[in-house]
Amino acid sequence: MTKQTILLTGGGTAGHVSLNQAVLPELVELGFHIEYVGSKGGIEESIIKEAFPETPYHAISSGKLRRYFSRKNFTDPFRVGRGLLQSMQIIRRTKPAAIFSKGGFVSVPVVMAGKMMNIPVIIHESDVTPGLANKLAMPFADHIYTVFHETLQHVPKEKATASGAVIRQELLQGTAEAGKRFCGFQRTLPVLLIMGGSQGSAVINEAVRDRLGDLTEVFNIIHLCGKGNLDPALEGADGYVQFEFVTGELPDLLHYADLVLSRAGSNSIFEFLALRKPMLLIPLSKERSRGDQLLNASLFKEQGYAFVLEEEMLMADTLIGKLRELEAQRSTMTERMAAAPEPKTAAEMAALIAGHIKKR
């Protein structure tokens, strides 16, 4: 019997790929054939091809939908149009039973083509309010899954479900012992893991390194600083290790860490919650984003899972003060996080996707 095909799409940032990365093997386990549609040279291409080299990857033309003036706003609609035609060709060849979109600009022409060709389209939204790409895609969707219940007021309720966060199972399988070996710390201080998103954060890197000596008096620091952001002068500093990024070691580092300093992307903060890691969140400001991370961080603060330091207030002194406060509240916050609802597994999310295909 020929396997039914599901097209996965989403890209632009690691957050628009991680859920697809998690559900892909689960959908294969359920008996589906999976193919991926993304941009050429985007982060999704490198992630999917490295993790699943046997999965066919289709690169399409992708523009960027900007809220600000740019000359590219006049040319990118043609890229999106070309991406729509390419998506239609891919759908004709693959004859998918469904399309599952995690968002990002590259997903918009894929979703539009699916609707035009009567293919069930399922969308997943991680943030409190939908991003621009998902806002454009939602009219073409058969169903929308959200992480936050609060998101339901921003989407068509008649075709939406708040399904909760989905956590990659491999994150739960790390060990603190392996993380300790990887870092090589000799001191018995609390371990602080610093993450600035998939590309790193210049403002976080600068604030941390400005007062690194003071910070390492209190913490052993694991700093994921982003590609090209290593500081050679800090190599070998006592109580400090830096990496551009990590892949297979990340579960071990998360288990080893006592606290996390991070941006406030939805996928990441729910992973920290699942692993019971108190967090200091520094969300992207409204000047640099649509404000989604500010909302994510605010909700986690209200529930007692995180402290929040807005980017405009990020200075070395304020950072040290907040981290000391976080360490003082660590045990209380960990207990509160232990009472949080359990996240969905990738297998459960895959079953929801499969369920929509059966209904058709």
pLDDT (tens digit per residue) in 171-204: 889 999 999 999 999 999 999 999 987 677 889 9
10 Å Cβ neighbour count for 247? 9
CB under 8 Å to 101, separation ≥6 — which residues?
8, 9, 10, 107, 110, 111, 121, 122, 123, 124, 134, 137, 141
pLDDT (tens digit per residue) in 286-303: 776 667 899 999 999 999
pLDDT (tens digit per residue) in 249-267: 999 999 999 999 999 989 8
For residue 297, give Cα distances in angstroms to 51, 218, 247, 300, 307.
30, 25, 25, 5, 8
Structural domains of the chain, with CATH: 5-164+344-359 (3.40.50.2000), 170-338 (3.40.50.2000)
Q: Which residue has the higher pLDDT, 14 or 129?
A: 129
Q: What is the mean pLDDT of residues 296-323?
A: 92
Q: CA 202, 208, 214: angle at the middle one, nearest 5? A: 165
Q: Position of tokens 């297979």?
A: 248
Residue 146 has pLDDT above 80, yes or no: yes
Report pLDDT for 100.
98
Q: How confident is the model at residue 13 (pLDDT cuts 50, 70, 90)?
A: confident
